[in-house]
Structure 1
Amino acid sequence: MTEVVCQRMLNHEDEDSPEKCRERRRRRIEMRRLAAISAASSPPLTPSQNRKENPNWADCSSAESKRIRTAENSDLQATAASSSSPSSSGDYREASSEPERKPVFGTMSVAGRSREMEDAIDVRTRLCRPEISGRRSVHFFAVFDGHGGPHVAALCRERMHVFVEEELKRVGLRGESESGSGNSSSKEEHDEEEEEGGLEERWRRAMRKSFERMDAVALSTCACGCVGYKCGCHLVEVALGGSTAVVALLTPDHIIVANCGDSRAVLCRGGVAIPLSQDHKPDRSDELARIEAAGGRVIFGNGARVAGILAMSRAIGDKFLKPFVTSEPEITFTKREPEDECLILASDGLWDVISSELACDVARECLREVTPAPDAAIDLNSGPRIEDEGAGALYPSRSVLAAALLTRLALGRKSSDNISVIVVDLKKS
């Protein structure tokens, strides 16, 4: 199936030379190896353990990008839905005794044709069970696309989920204190506020505060890991570096997406691609007006760029471009529907060469259940097997296959950037 889809998408290219065929074969082998790593079950490592224990999974020309690739291994190990990490093991049960289903997802992150790996992926199943979600689990998915160095994206990967968890719990406690104090009339007013969108505003407030805290840490943390005045190396990377951030929180009822930059989140609902975020480009009319109102300029040279430097109008970090480049995210609050099929989060390495509609079509095809032939031999003791050029069960789930195929398709369309993809199967989540 994979080869049929790829051939259909790449039929516009001329006949490849033997060198190009060998290069494509090498990339396929590498991606299968990454998918195999994602099937491994191992407990999550601390950031220091990530740097010391995990092997690098791709070539890199600098020591810093090797450190980022090492950190990415923990993402790939946590990809398969069967992961045995403490955050995703066991079945929680609510007070109503209804079992809570684990999210089914797949990830893929490759350097592609770029020399350095500056992307980072973070997935935290059952991040927390705050009061704001009715004590039901909140699942965390995020893609960070660094620029000016990989350290800000790596820092976001290590800290963003911590800030989100703290803010969600704080908002929940504030809600309890508001509803539990005062007279009955104040409690009735609070209930009316919840019905009229107060709950949504509490989610938005938590996400805005999380991004604000993450930006403050990124601006004060050096690439060497030291914070503020404690650093003596005076690396300029901390002032020049930054990262996009698209964060999706999945609950049984809603999908909350906070976006800052040109990474993107797309929901596939009934075969229709629904954007859950908008790319923050400097030439977007509202972003251009905001930048000029702050005293900045957008210069058009090799695309629209803030001060002729940055090709996005919002990002975490970028100390020298404040306040023109802001870290305030745009947030969408979407109610889940039975027609929801999958959620795709990816860096611009994918979206530069693949449209949202095409990405949804490819993901839907991969996630579609296929009924085996009546005479097919079925091994009840084996896991799901995805056939791909004799690869057998190298792809542990259809979600991983979808992420791998989207990555492969972007490489085939000559994406020149890092490519990071998360595919969440909402039918099974």
Structure 2
Amino acid sequence: MSLSLIIPNSPIFSPKKVPSIFCKSDGSSFSSSPRTNGSQQPPSSPLSLSLSSPKSSLPISSTPQSPSSPLKSPLSIRVPKKQLLFGTDVAPVKRKRPGRIEIPTSMAVQLGFAAETPRGEEEVQVEEEGYSVYCKRGRRGKMEDRYSAAVNLNGDPKQAFFGVYDGHGNSKAAEFVAKNLDKKVMEEVSKTGEDAIDGAIRDAYLFTDMDFLKEDVGGGTCCVTAMIRKGDLFVSNAGDCRAVLSRNGVAEALTNDHHPSREDERDRIEALGGYVDCCHGVWRIQSSLAVSRAIGDKHLKQWVIAEPETKMLKIKPECEFLILASDGLWNKVTNQEAVDLVRPFCVGLDKPKPFSACKKLAELSSWRGSFDDISVMVVQLQHFLF
């Protein structure tokens, strides 16, 4: 490789005799070397700097430049094109294209996001008879959402338990609850009569919370669960995971989010000696947590309770499907929008496609700018009609 600095108008060098690779010679062709193939060498000069390496021809651009393009500097540096610094006027370095990520083009333009993670950590896909689940990792760190599903309970195909859990702080609480809450609910329900099932579910939540706190690992999780039993649907929640029913295409929220901004929740917290304030537009307990109920959160347990709110209803023919999802969905998609998107995949088809609906919902929320984990479960209620 040869590197030379040429000073215009030098009495020693003549530009006509030493053509540059950046200029056309005779208006028609480039010279690939600053020296001829003959044995004659140009005289040395203190103004000429030459660095030598094994002889090789210098690469040049395959696309001729305009003969009218002026040099930007009186100094011409002969180096291979790939060694030129990015941002020069002559030959910018080509950036290596990043790996492809399967997201909508419009989303990439709007959000400018191009992260790449192992697929196993990025999403969860489940498609089973009667329900489907899709979980998509957000852009804040590791996936902290979890889900649970138990069908054919006690050998009865019309009994089932489903849950979506949105962890915060870490995924430990969500993992613990996903493994244990359904069993605890079934255990408590078996001890009581049909008229006290909501109380049994409440006890199961509280016992699960107590068991997790004994683990002493920190973190917490919001929960939304649905138990189907003898044609009845019991929906419970603690936190801001939400359950939405489609009743002949009309969205019906079956849960109320537990936020510190709720008047009854704020009154409860303040009565216990806590306080609620707004931090950067978000209402929080003790300037910390943005939900007022959850399993875990030992450091805030005095105010953040695990007691759920439960609603029971009969599954009727007009009850089409149930959507259980974390706030990663609901922060960007309204209840009715979710029902409108899912319905064409689940109603009026010989072969419903609830999994496709779950994935479409998650993609919509992500496209609208959600940075949180997004977990969506669709339960086809007609499958459990008693």
CA distance in 1, matches of 2:349, 2:336: 22
Note the aligned Cα RMSD (angstroms): 2.6
**Do the aligned partners of residues 300 and 271 (structure 1) sit closer, same or farther apart at CA in structure 2, a change above 3 Å counting?**
same
* Mapping of residues 287-366 of structure 1, within 5 Å: 287-302=265-280, 303-366=282-345
* Mapping of residues 7-406 of structure 1, within 5 Å: 23-24=102-103, 57-59=119-121, 76-77=125-126, 79-81=127-129, 104-128=130-154, 137-171=158-192, 175=193, 199-200=194-195, 202-222=196-216, 238-239=217-218, 241-302=219-280, 303-370=282-349, 398-406=353-361
| TM-score w.r.t. length of structure 2 | 0.67
CA distance in 2, matches of 1:126, 1:411: 34
| TM-score w.r.t. length of structure 1 | 0.60
Unaligned runs of 5+ in 1: 1-17, 29-55, 61-68, 82-103, 130-134, 176-198, 223-237, 372-383, 385-396
Structure with the greater alpha carbon radius of gyration: 2
**Do the aligned partners of residues 22 and 319 (structure 1) sit closer, same or farther apart at CA in structure 2, a change above 3 Å counting?**
closer
C-alpha deviation, 1:284, in angstroms: 0.3
- Matched letter for residue 418 of structure 1: D
421, 425, 429: which one pairs with 2:376? 421
CA distance in 1, matches of 2:266, 2:224: 21
CA contact (8 A) 2:158 2:231 kept: no
CA contact (8 A) 1:246 1:257 kept: yes
Q: Deviations over 1:333-357 (max 9, x none)?
A: 1111211111000000000000011
CA distance in 2, matches of 1:142, 1:428: 17
CA distance in 1, matches of 2:190, 2:147: 23
CA distance in 2, matches of 1:137, 1:365: 24
Unaligned runs of 5+ in 2: 1-96, 108-117
Q: Deviations over 1:116-140 (max 9, x none)?
A: 10000111112336xxxxx774200
CA distance in 1, matches of 2:151, 2:291: 30
The higher-RCO structure (CA 8 Å, 6+ apart) is 1
C-alpha deviation, 1:368, in angstroms: 3.0
CA distance in 2, matches of 1:340, 1:23: 34
- Matched letter for residue 170 of structure 1: K
- Matched letter for residue 128 of structure 2: A
CA distance in 2, matches of 1:245, 1:370: 31
CA contact (8 A) 1:128 1:165 kept: no
CA contact (8 A) 1:340 1:426 kept: yes
CA contact (8 A) 2:243 2:253 kept: yes
Q: Secondary structure at the match of 1:250?
A: strand
Q: Secondary structure at the match of 2:153?
A: strand
CA distance in 1, matches of 2:214, 2:178: 16
CA distance in 1, matches of 2:371, 2:245: 25
CA contact (8 A) 2:246 2:339 kept: yes
CA contact (8 A) 1:136 1:251 kept: no
C-alpha deviation, 1:424, in angstroms: 0.9
Give the fraction of aligned pairs with identical amino acids, expressed as a percent.
Answer: 36
CA distance in 2, matches of 1:320, 1:283: 20
- Matched letter for residue 261 of structure 2: D
CA contact (8 A) 1:126 1:140 kept: no
CA distance in 2, matches of 1:109, 1:23: 15
Q: Deviations over 1:261-301 (max 9, x none)?
A: 00000111011111110000001010000000111100110
Q: Deviations over 1:51-104 (max 9, x none)?
A: xxxxx74347xxxxxxxx8xx6xxx45x321xxxxxxxxxxxxxxxxxxxxxx1
